[in-house]
Amino acid sequence: MKSIHFRSALIATPLFVLFLSGCGSIESAAQTDCTSIGWQIGSPGYDQCFKARVYERKLDYSLPPGDKPVPSLL
């Protein structure tokens, strides 16, 4: 019985890691946004764009004031 759980955990763990790595991060998405519109990494305009995009994305993914997180059904 334990070997079935162990095998399923061995299969599920790499799949879960691949799923999460596909999501990316806020920083990588902001970098993609700024480079796609023509800013070169390291330029002053890129730095301003990057900071603004990170701030916007953090606002997009944050909970509204007063909301409490709800447990996931997954």
Residue 70 resides in a domain:
no
Does the pTM surpass 0.75? The reply is no
Residue 34 in contact with residue 53, Cβ under 8 Å? yes
Domain count, the chain: 1
Q: What is the 3-state secondary structure (H, E, C) of 41-71?
A: CCCHHHHHHHHHHHHHHHHHHCCCCCCCCCC
Residue 38 resides in a domain:
yes
Predicted confidence (pLDDT) per residue in 11-68, tens digit: 656 545 444 454 578 999 999 999 999 999 999 899 999 999 999 998 888 877 777 7
CB atoms within 10 A of CB 19: 9
Range of the domain at 28: 23-63
Residue 2 resides in a domain:
no
